[in-house]
Structure 1
Amino acid sequence: SNWMHKRMLGLSVRYAQLPASQRTDAMRQCLYAAQANDAYWHGMFGGLYLPHLRRAIYNNLVELEALLDQCIPRAAWYQEDTDLDGTEEIHLQNGIIQIILKLDGNASICELDAYPLKHNFADTLTRQTEHYYRKIRLNSGANPAHDQSGIASAHDRVSFKHEISHADLEPDLDAQSLFIDRLNGESLHYQLQPSDRKNEIIFQAVASIGLIRKCFQISGNRLRVTYACTNEVVGRMQTEINLAMPSCDGPGGRYVKDHIALSGFGNAVALDDLASLTLEDDTLGGNLSLEISPAAAFHACPHFTVSQSEGGFEKIMQAAKLTLAWPVTTRKQHITLRFDKKR
């Protein structure tokens, strides 16, 4: 929520700096809608844990940014500490898509915007320990009767909308971003490298005695991520891509391969060698296509968090977690995400 809040404040400043003659009703409407407080807190009656509330904020932030860019264009590539946490981020955008990467050594994407779709695909939620987990553990799935006279407060009542296991309460080791890498199960530490091109960001990691080069490139409505390993690197590479899909585990979203729907986003999918896949989402008003060259092992599953609501403790899907794995003998691995708006 800190990231979302600081993004909203940054766009608010940009709007305020515009000459009055350039400010439009559409901009003001987007700004006010992006300031709706519901998604900025976490409590009994919704807030940050409800993906549709955050999505409404980001829909308006992404639309506002596009409107502001039409008046005063931004650089294609720039670096700043957007969320004021002491670690800088790199922004790379071309007016159609934008990627933002935190320079924390992970070389992963913390925001991925498709402007025509008005959507941030990195609007996921990282599972962390919450105070009410203690109540869940104490009651471990049981629904004890309220043994006092009178009506129990919604804050005191213990009830379960869904069955919750101890595994559902385990905190995430990483922020649920896009392109979190492991080599033979170990995380990598990337350093930013210079690049002559304005449409790419290059990182490099030292692995044993070899090097892994990771390049992000945007072109039109495509984001291409390329991994290149030197001959000394051995073993298996894996990357995790956490995607915020608006339909979550509802009926409006599905994985589609060769024009055949495999399953909804709420189910797990495993394929030994995948070259292309489309994530169709009715709520999104468009599709996200994945192209993998050479083909790689693929696994997808829903990522849930546990929150408390009036109806009891519940599991809510926050992201479609895609994992790709390949042997480093491939040397060069390309992963392309393409964003298409429905006509």
Structure 2
Amino acid sequence: MVKFIFAVHNHQPVGNFDNVMEEAFNLSYLPFTETLRRHPGVKVSMHFSGILYDWFEKNRPWYLDILRGLSASGQVELLGGGYYEPILAILPAGDQASQLAKMRDYIVHRFGVSPRGVWLAERVWEPQMAAVLARAGAAYTVLDDSHFFSAGLEAKELTGYFTTEFEGRHLSVFPIDHELRYLMPFADPERTIDYLRTFEGRDAALVMADDGEKFGLWPKTHDLVYKRGWLDRMLTLIEANCGWLQTAGFSQCLESAGSKGLVYLPTASYHELSQWALPGGSSQLLADLWKNAHQEARPFLRGGYFRNFFSKYPESNSVYRKMLKVSAQVSAAGGAGSESLWKAQCNCGYWHGVFGGIYLPHIRKAIFSNLIEAARAAAAGGSDGNFELKEEDWDADGRPELLIETKNAGFYLAPAKGGGLWEWDYAPRSVNFSAVISRRPESYHGSDGAESIVGPNKAGRREGELKKHIFYDWHRRMNLLDHFLHPETRLEDFKKAAYGEQGDFVLTEYDWKAAREADGLKVSLSRNGSLWDGDRKTAVRVEKDVKLRADGSWAADYRVTNRGAGPARIWFAPELAFSFSNASVCHGGERKEVSCVRFDDPVWGGLELEFSQPVLLWAFELETVSRSEEGMEKTYQGSVILPGVKKELNPGETLEFSMEVRPV
């Protein structure tokens, strides 16, 4: 008898829009369940993330009653996992246990069953996970067959579950058949049955486990799966072939068959993610090698793994490091802020693949909002005026950063990267005003079309007009990066990052010292560098006193001194980058003689900028072109604002310039 384990994983990220949740429910989750109920003889395993369970409790509690009935009848086996869909392998041990326990306790309380299996987000596996899951009471997990191929197993051997271990703790692991993953639901149901029939006469258990959203929410799939009856026909065919084919849950297979043997799986996820985790050039090279490789060679073509996203995207590294920091604070505070911390561990905003991921600003900002709320809860009772300054190598680049925090704000400075302010948290609104992402090359930017999730090897749409919006930043976008512009620079040139940078201050290291002030903390940064005036190189010193205030506002007092032997014409323009909720908050363009400007954000509140002298103010929308489930899309990430001052400095002369930045 061939056993077929049909499993779906349903999830929406923390911070997703409510209308998207509604759409997912109406197009995918509900019709899938309704169709399943019409075929009571077909068993299915289901995993829902805690984000969905919370949404159901609030908006569709009757749907949970349906799931309870399906579970009680034995038709549906519910899987556990990290409640807020984290990548468990990257979490501190305490958070791993807590996320797993929260999901287990919810399922026990709501459905009256204790889940035996764990769904791993993005099927990200590291060897120690065997012990982590076993300690949490799990009997099994489900991973891609590519994990097993990397361990030297062949496809013909993957007809059941295996046993792995770490530190003597055992865990059963089921392999997902990639052929079934690609067939369902994109091929006719008969092709899936034909594939399963090739195992007839063998004691085989085959697994199709994948995103439930491909059954209705992905582009064009609702019409395919429900209106054209794909799922109903699939389940009918399963019932019609019950003489040799039986659907089963994972637990049923554990009880009815023994392990296929011991296996040790390397760090891995599904093949596509291992490709996406590589830098753009390497990612494309692996894709080309995979496309041209013989079938028998493909199992040994491996890319990176999930942690590579932290080196690929500095913004991902920053939020990951902040998550670890806040986790330690929450732990030290006896768990205060835990719920917000766990929400912030939802994986979707930490990486990018075929979905928007880190390029989706509302998902990225939701992580920061929850981390800020968690940190605030952990620090409850602290004094408004207390400042804590830590110097540490925050991002593992070999150079120290400055982490400055008070009750109402967090200010993170990078002296080694131009003295920039890369994070500005404002706790009263739970917002990181600096949560932008830079424009960088992606492997798909150079292709004629972007891969879509509509099906394997099918090109999604890519509007040709988007090509003109693909620009790359040569540095990470952040506040207080000190530009000296070529006199012929235009706003459009600066927007495209195709202009003349006359100074050497943007990416270089500043000296620093800190001192207490009556209303806050002053960080004085300085650097002796150079700028070019035509063909002539001139020595210049930049000093900036960054004044951080307990109320969450800040100011920067600049002194730019000509240390050369002759006069120097300068166009000095310190960069600002703010993650507004939409482009209409800050309209792009050029404004002259600006002394004060205000931006009113309907989501995050207002910001006001005040300058010590009238400036030429430039602003442009920071927009990325990235891949989504429907192809390419342009996304507003924030606004870059450039207050500029032009002046000719004689030898020894100093330009003094100040700006105030405050929430209003």
What letter corresponds to residue 12 of structure 1 in structure 2? S
Q: Which residue of 2 aligns with 1:260?
A: none
CA RMSD after TM alignment: 2.4
Aligned 8 A contact 2:415 2:525 in 1: no
Aligned 8 A contact 1:78 1:91 in 2: yes
Q: Which residue of 2 aligns with 1:281?
A: 601
Alignment of 1:43-54 (within 5 A): 43-54=353-364
Q: Quote how far apart the aligned CAs of 1:269 are.
A: 2.4
Q: Quote how far apart the aligned CAs of 1:310 are.
A: 2.0
More displaced, 324-333 or 6-15?
Answer: 324-333
Q: Which residue of 2 aligns with 1:222?
A: 553
Q: 1:200 aligns with which of 515, 519, 522?
A: 522
Q: Quote how far apart the aligned CAs of 1:161 are.
A: 5.5
* TM-score, scaled relative to structure 1: 0.82
Aligned 8 A contact 2:382 2:407 in 1: no
Pair 1:159 & 2:483 matched: no
Aligned 8 A contact 1:92 1:200 in 2: no
Aligned 8 A contact 1:96 1:115 in 2: yes
Pair 1:94 & 2:406 matched: yes
Aligned 8 A contact 1:190 1:203 in 2: no
Q: Quote how far apart the aligned CAs of 1:232 are.
A: 4.1
Q: Which residue of 2 aligns with 1:312?
A: 631
Pair 1:336 & 2:336 matched: no
What letter corresponds to residue 662 of structure 2 in structure 1? R
The structure carrying a bigger strand percent of its residues is 1
Q: 2:483 aligns with which of 182, 190, 196?
A: 182
CA distance in 2, matches of 1:17, 1:76: 16
Alignment of 1:73-88 (within 5 A): 75-88=387-400
Quick one: higher RCO (CA 8 Å, sep 6+), 1 or 2?
1
Q: Which residue of 2 aligns with 1:295?
A: 614
CA distance in 1, matches of 2:388, 2:471: 39
Q: 1:121 aligns with which of 433, 441, 446?
A: 433
Q: Quote how far apart the aligned CAs of 1:275 are.
A: 0.6
CA distance in 1, matches of 2:342, 2:454: 37
Q: Secondary structure, in 3 states, of the residue corresponding to 2:441?
A: coil
Q: 1:212 aligns with which of 542, 548, 555?
A: 542
Alignment of 1:61-76 (within 5 A): 61-70=371-380, 75-76=387-388
Q: Which residue of 1 aligns with 2:30?
A: none
Change in Cα spacing, 1:204 to 1:164, as seen in structure 2 (3 Å) is: same
CA distance in 1, matches of 2:602, 2:430: 14
Q: 1:270 aligns with which of 590, 604, 609?
A: 590
Q: Which residue of 2 aligns with 1:259?
A: none
The structure carrying a bigger helix percent of its residues is 2
Pair 1:172 & 2:473 matched: yes
Q: Quote how far apart the aligned CAs of 1:215 are.
A: 1.2
Aligned 8 A contact 1:194 1:202 in 2: yes
| Cα-to-partner distance string for 1:170-189 (whole Å, 9 max, x where unaligned) | 32111011122122432314
CA distance in 2, matches of 1:75, 1:84: 24
Pair 1:325 & 2:637 matched: no
Q: Quote how far apart the aligned CAs of 1:152 are.
A: 5.8
Q: Quote how far apart the aligned CAs of 1:117 are.
A: 1.1
Q: Which residue of 2 aligns with 1:258?
A: none
| Cα-to-partner distance string for 1:197-233 (whole Å, 9 max, x where unaligned) | 3601111122433422111101233210111123547
CA distance in 1, matches of 2:470, 2:397: 26
CA distance in 2, matches of 1:119, 1:3: 15
* TM-score, scaled relative to structure 2: 0.44
Identity of aligned residues (%): 22
Aligned 8 A contact 2:591 2:618 in 1: yes
| Cα-to-partner distance string for 1:129-165 (whole Å, 9 max, x where unaligned) | 1111122xx35xxx9xx9xxxx962763231367212
Pair 1:13 & 2:328 matched: yes
The runs of 5 or more residues in structure 2 that have no matched partner are: 1-315, 486-500, 531-537
CA distance in 1, matches of 2:417, 2:459: 43
Q: Quote how far apart the aligned CAs of 1:316 are.
A: 0.3
| Cα-to-partner distance string for 1:81-120 (whole Å, 9 max, x where unaligned) | 2233322211223322221012324111111111111111
Q: Which residue of 1 aligns with 2:341?
A: 31
Aligned 8 A contact 2:606 2:663 in 1: yes
Q: Quote how far apart the aligned CAs of 1:17 are.
A: 2.5
Q: Secondary structure, in 3 states, of the residue corresponding to 2:474?
A: coil
Q: 1:240 aligns with which of 575, 583, 590?
A: 575
Aligned 8 A contact 2:422 2:479 in 1: yes
Higher CA-based Rg: 2
Number of equivalent positions: 307
Q: Quote how far apart the aligned CAs of 1:194 are.
A: 2.6
More displaced, 98-107 or 49-58?
Answer: 98-107
Aligned 8 A contact 1:38 1:48 in 2: yes
Q: Quote how far apart the aligned CAs of 1:294 are.
A: 0.8
CA distance in 2, matches of 1:91, 1:304: 28
Q: Secondary structure, in 3 states, of the residue corresponding to 1:173?
A: coil
CA distance in 1, matches of 2:576, 2:546: 14
Q: Quote how far apart the aligned CAs of 1:75 are.
A: 4.6
What letter corresponds to residue 223 of structure 1 in structure 2? W
Q: Which residue of 1 aligns with 2:317?
A: 2
The runs of 5 or more residues in structure 1 that have no matched partner are: 255-264
Q: Which residue of 2 aligns with 1:56?
A: 366
Aligned 8 A contact 1:301 1:322 in 2: yes
What letter corresponds to residue 632 of structure 2 in structure 1? F
Q: Quote how far apart the aligned CAs of 1:126 are.
A: 1.2
Q: Quote how far apart the aligned CAs of 1:4 are.
A: 0.3
CA distance in 2, matches of 1:35, 1:171: 29
Aligned 8 A contact 1:162 1:315 in 2: no
What letter corresponds to residue 524 of structure 2 in structure 1? I
CA distance in 2, matches of 1:196, 1:242: 26
CA distance in 2, matches of 1:190, 1:40: 28
CA distance in 2, matches of 1:309, 1:240: 30
Change in Cα spacing, 1:101 to 1:154, as seen in structure 2 (3 Å) is: farther
